Amino acid sequence: MKPADIDFMRLALAEAQQAAALGEVPVGAVLVRSGQVIGRGFNQPISSNDPSAHAEMVALRQASLSEGNYRLPDTTLYVTLEPCTMCAGLLVHTRITRLVYGATEPRSGAVISRAQVLAQPWLNHHVEVEGGVLAEECGAVLRDFFRAKREQSQ
């Protein structure tokens, strides 16, 4: 883990809180290059009517538009939850250098928990992975959100 990882993960957690405020699953992401945030996002598929509007996708779209390039080399993506299959593939296509995530996703995580997409030797780009950064805090945001949802439905 690098010294700045915790600080950037805290920014991703702030993004996750924005998702929770909208009733979206609280996942947040920030994309960093040379110590500067160049993209940020939170889950918003419900509010945007866009099934691909995961936190990672939103952050990478924002960065690609501001950078004027669909490739984002020399960057680190911080995300509060282990990416799904769609988002793991996105990291390869955008040439993200490093992924740092918080909580694992045992049901559908595609980095270490299930599909292990980024570990495939046939990929034309490989992403360095660091998991478990602020895992307890990231997981607590999700647990609290779903607990509140369950209580509302009773």
User: Which residues line the annotated binding site?
Assistant: 54, 84, 87
Q: Give the residue numbers of the binding site for Zn(2+).
A: 54, 84, 87
With b meaning 16 or more CB within 10 Å and e meaning fewer, what string describes 111-146?
Answer: bbebbebbeeeeeeeebebebebbbebbbebbeebe
Q: Which of 56, 130, 136, 137 is catalytic?
A: 56
CA distance 79 to 66: 20
Q: Are 101 and 13 in contact (CB under 8 A)?
A: no
Active site residue 151: no
> Which positions are annotated as active-site residues?
56
